[in-house]
């Protein structure tokens, strides 16, 4: 494993769930407070790991703020956002229309845990802040489908908080984990060892790990 360090921030990204935001047209363009805080740190990693050209599938795009920022900054790539939530997809579309960016496809309805995904052939897959706010079956589906669809050497990128062996959980992450499990017992911070084992079983090499602000990690898995 390769571990890099980045400046740490004290703020814990707030939980955000598009299903709780309502469906009125005036609320179409939603905002995830953490997106503005972490987008540049994530972009710095993506500049290093993504190909210069090709199709990038974002799983669980949420509000759409991340994909707009990445597409504007990486014009050689085409981005395919996706989300299982109709509210999130409406927000993604609203952000894209406002930004007037040509290298973002319309958002797809995609549930990571589904038996089948839409028929696309991505050159990279990115997934930000999903695996802890979804059942474990979503992580299983993410790695299974990414493993089937990516070519050798292509990256699967994850960002979020994780539990690490022999490393005490930071107080902010411990509180966040407890709040998630209170909302849904199937949610919660995932063990990095469990994620790495799932990746290996799906045909990926051990992750490159980068320390990120607010006690988060960037995990880059390469298809073997």
pLDDT tens figures, 47-106: 999 999 999 999 999 999 999 999 999 999 999 999 999 999 999 999 999 999 999 999
**pLDDT class for 166, splitting at 50, 70, 90?**
confident
Upper half-sphere CA count for residue 19 (Cβ side, 13 Å): 6
Q: Environment class of residue 20 by beta-carbon count within 10 Å: exposed (0-12), middle (13-18) or buried (19+)?
A: exposed
pLDDT the model gives residue 33: 87
If you classify domain 2-222 with CATH, what class do you get? alpha beta
pLDDT the model gives residue 27: 55
| Length of the chain, in residues | 224
Domain residue ranges in the chain: 2-222
Tell me how far apart the alpha carbons of residues 219 and 116 are, in angstroms, rounded to a whole number: 24
Tell me how far apart the alpha carbons of residues 59 and 80 are, in angstroms, rounded to a whole number: 9
Q: Which DSSP string corresponds to 99-148? A: HT-TTBPPPB---TTSS---S---SEEEEES-TTSS-HHHHHHHHHHHHH
Task: Put residue 215 in one of left, alpha, beta given phi > 0 → left and psi -120 to 50 → alpha.
Answer: left
């Amino acid at each position: 494993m390769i571990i890099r360090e980045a400046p740490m921030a004290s703020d814990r990204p707030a939980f955000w769930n598009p299903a709780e935001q309502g469906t009125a047209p005036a609320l179409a363009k939603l905002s995830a407070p953490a997106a503005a805080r972490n987008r540049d740190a994530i972009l710095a990693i993506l500049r290093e790991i993504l190909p210069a050209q090709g199709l990038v599938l974002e799983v669980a795009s949420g509000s759409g703020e991340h994909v707009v920022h990445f597409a504007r900054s990486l014009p050689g790539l085409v981005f395919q956002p996706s989300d299982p939530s109709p509210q999130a997809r409406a927000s993604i579309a609203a952000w894209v229309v406002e930004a007037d960016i040509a290298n973002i496809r319309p958002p797809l309805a995609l549930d990571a845990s589904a038996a089948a995904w839409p028929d696309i052939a991505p050159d990279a897959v990115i997934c930000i802040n999903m695996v802890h706010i979804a059942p474990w079956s979503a992580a299983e589906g993410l790695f299974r489908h990414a493993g089937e669809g990516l070519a050798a050497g292509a990256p699967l990128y994850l960002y979020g908080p994780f539990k690490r062996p022999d490393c005490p959980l930071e107080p902010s992450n411990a509180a966040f984990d407890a709040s998630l499990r209170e909302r849904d017992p199937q949610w919660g911070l995932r063990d990095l060892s469990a994620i790495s084992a799932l990746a290996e079983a799906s045909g990926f090499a051990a992750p490159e790990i980068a320390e990120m602000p607010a006690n988060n990690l960037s995990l880059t898995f390469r298809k073997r």
